[in-house]
Amino acid sequence: MVKEWKTKKFRGLATVEMALVLPLLLLVTLGAIRYGHLFLIAQQITNAARNGARVAIRANNPNADADVRATVLQYMTAAGIPAGQYTLTFPDPTTLPLGAPVTVTITVPSANVDVLHVPLFTNFEPANWSLGATVTMAKEG
C-alpha cells in the first residue's frame, strides 16, 4: 500500500526533472560541438598558412606568389572556407633575399566559420572576432 502511494505521488517527477535538465544538457552539448568545430577550423587555417609559407620560401620559384595563393586556396577550400571568405597577406617572395623572413597571415571573420548559427551563443561573444594564423619561415637559397 505504501509503495503504491509513492508511485502515484512521484509519477510526474521524472518529467519535471527532465524538463529542467534537458535545456542545460543541450546547451552544454551544442556549445561543445561549436567550440570543437572552431578549434578544428583554427587548426586547418594554421595548416594552410604553414603550407603557404613552405611554398613561399622555396628558392628559385618565379611563380611563388601564384603558388602560395593556390596552395592556401586548396587548403582553405578543403576546410570549407572558399576564396573571398578569408584574407591572405604575405610579401612577394621573389623580391626577398636569402634568409629573409617570409610571413604568411590568414584571417577569417567569425561569420564565415560558424557551424551552428545559434544566436544564443553569439550573445556571449565579442562582436566581429576572427580566427587566424601567422606563420614565419626563412627564405631558402
- Find the Cα–Cα–Cα–Cα dihedral 59, 65, 67, 70, rounded to 10°: 160
Q: Domains in the chain: how many in total?
A: 1
pTM: 0.80
Instruction: Say if residues 39 and 122 touch (Cβ distance below 8 Å).
Output: no
Cα pseudo-dihedral 46, 50, 51, 53, rounded to 10: 140
pLDDT, average across residues 49-77? 94
The winner for highest mean pLDDT among 7-11, 45-49, 112-116 is 45-49
Contact predicate 67/54, CB 8 Å: no
- 75/79 Cα distance (integer angstroms): 6
Range of the domain at 92: 2-138
Alpha-carbon distance values, 79 to 39, 72, 105, 112, 116 (Å): 12, 11, 16, 11, 16
Instruction: Please tell me the predicted confidence (pLDDT) of residue 129.
Output: 83
- Grid coordinates 601564384 are at which residue? 66
